[in-house]
Amino acid sequence: MESTSLYPPLGHGEVLQGLWDAARSDRLPHALILHGPEGIGKYHAARWLAQGLLCEGGPGEPCLSCGPCRRVQADSHPDLFLVDPLAVGQDRMTIHFIVTRENRPKSAYSGPSIENFLRLRADEGGWRVVCLRDVDSMNENAQNAFLKALEEPGENTLLLLTSARPDALLETIRSRTVSVDLSRLSMADTLHILERDALLPGLEEPAQREVLARWSLGAPGKAMKLAKSGGVPMRAMIVDLVAGRLLPDEAGPAFWELDGEFPGKTPAAQRRTRSAALMDLALEWLLDGRRQAARVPLESLAHGGVLEPLGGVPEGALESCMDCILQARQDVSLNLSPEILTERVLRSLADLSGHSTAAVRRP
């Protein structure tokens, strides 16, 4: 797959153009937080905005051919600093990304910090840009350390934060940044991105891409994540359990053999991640079933096309099943056996088939 720095972020062009216009007229704030639903391309938009500022012809749409653009594409531009914890094997944006600490755990991030970068002058004489991915993963210590950068960023410096949960940030950070709202993509743009990455596992077939585009509700990043984690066959398993087409004893072995990428540093951690993915998906599907019962239009629901087995299931039975899954989700985070918890969830889902008007009745 080619670098996304070669592609403009679909769906966000008008917002980015307005920010480049502000930069040309010296009205661009020194700190922005690009926020919106998970998977809509916020970090890609932040990098594209930075590339347009650093481009020889900028501020504006990057040309992709000048020296600065090529250096951005190669992640080697000296005036662009990227903070992406997942890309360096970290789960959270800890204080070590923000400031340099001599004493740190062996497993902590040990690369250059924002503090180091901001001490430098612009190497190419223009903007200096810091792009931070998913800043809501910062703990309170990291957020407090980041305040200094927000208060004293330096000349021609732009801090670009991205977040799906800006409310998780301290008020002192939110008050020092200008909020920029990014929206979900259209179905057409979402499909275009999935087609561009059709060689990724789970995206090879047009039918799969259409299902995932509908499911993600305009968030291609979420669609890709679902494809990598076997979301389509996993959802089919949940639907078949409630429809009575699959028994828990059959579903269990099939679930653990599903192809997919489940992060974790050990096999046990990967099993916990796999189990949690099933629980999260089941809860999302059941919530859509409740929305359907409340007469929310099916076309606006991520799972609107596969809710038939929930027809006739009483509200009390849904509540009981969701409570069971929520408890299991909490327990799997406490390192309890993912195998036992998964079996509990599968049986709870299968119990709903006794209420479903669409369930297959076995002899």
Is the confidence at residue 201, as pLDDT, over 80?
no
Binned at pLDDT 50, 70 and 90, residue 314 comes out as very high
> What is the pTM assigned to this prediction?
0.83
Q: Which residues pair with 161 in a beta bridge?
A: 33, 132
Higher pLDDT, 181 or 357: 181
Q: Which residues pair with 181 in a beta bridge?
A: 35
Is the confidence at residue 360, as pLDDT, over 80?
no
Residue 1: the pLDDT is: 37
What is the rounded CA–CA span in Å between residue 259 and residue 239? 18
Residue 55: the pLDDT is: 95
Which residue from 19, 5, 25, 11 is spatially nearest to 179, judged by alpha carbons?
19
What is the rounded CA–CA span in Å between residue 331 and residue 323? 12
What is the rounded CA–CA span in Å between residue 315 and residue 337? 29
Q: Residues near 271 by Cβ (< 8 Å), separated by ≥ 6?
A: 256, 262, 264, 338, 339
Tens-place pLDDT, residues 15-49: 999 999 999 999 999 999 999 999 999 999 999 99
Q: Does residue 120 contact residue 79 with C-beta atoms inside 8 Å?
A: no
Mean pLDDT of 134-140: 92
What is the rounded CA–CA span in Å between residue 332 and residue 273? 9
What is the rounded CA–CA span in Å between residue 198 and residue 203? 5
Backbone φ and ψ for 74, nearest 5 degrees, come out as -95, 5
DSSP SS3 for 301: coil
Is the confidence at residue 352, as pLDDT, over 80?
yes
Mean pLDDT of 197-209: 81
Please report, rounded to a whole number, the percentage of residues in the chain having pLDDT higher than 70: 98
Give whole-number Cα distances, 216 to 13, 39, 206, 232, 305, in Å: 21, 8, 15, 12, 13
Radius of gyration of the chain (CA): 23
Tens-place pLDDT, residues 260-273: 999 887 899 999 99
Residue 335: the pLDDT is: 85
Which residue from 165, 218, 224 is spatially nearest to 194, judged by alpha carbons?
224
Average pLDDT, the chain: 91
Binned at pLDDT 50, 70 and 90, residue 144 comes out as very high
Binned at pLDDT 50, 70 and 90, residue 207 comes out as confident
Is the confidence at residue 361, as pLDDT, over 70?
no
Strands in the chain per DSSP E: 31-35, 80-83, 128-132, 157-163, 178-181
Is the confidence at residue 336, as pLDDT, over 80?
yes
Is the confidence at residue 362, as pLDDT, over 60?
no
Is the confidence at residue 83, as pLDDT, over 90?
yes
Structural element, H or E, at residue 140? helix 140-151
Q: Does residue 298 contact residue 307 with C-beta atoms inside 8 Å?
A: yes
Mean pLDDT of 216-234: 91
In 10 A of CB 165, how many CB atoms?
12
Q: Which residues pair with 35 in a beta bridge?
A: 163, 181
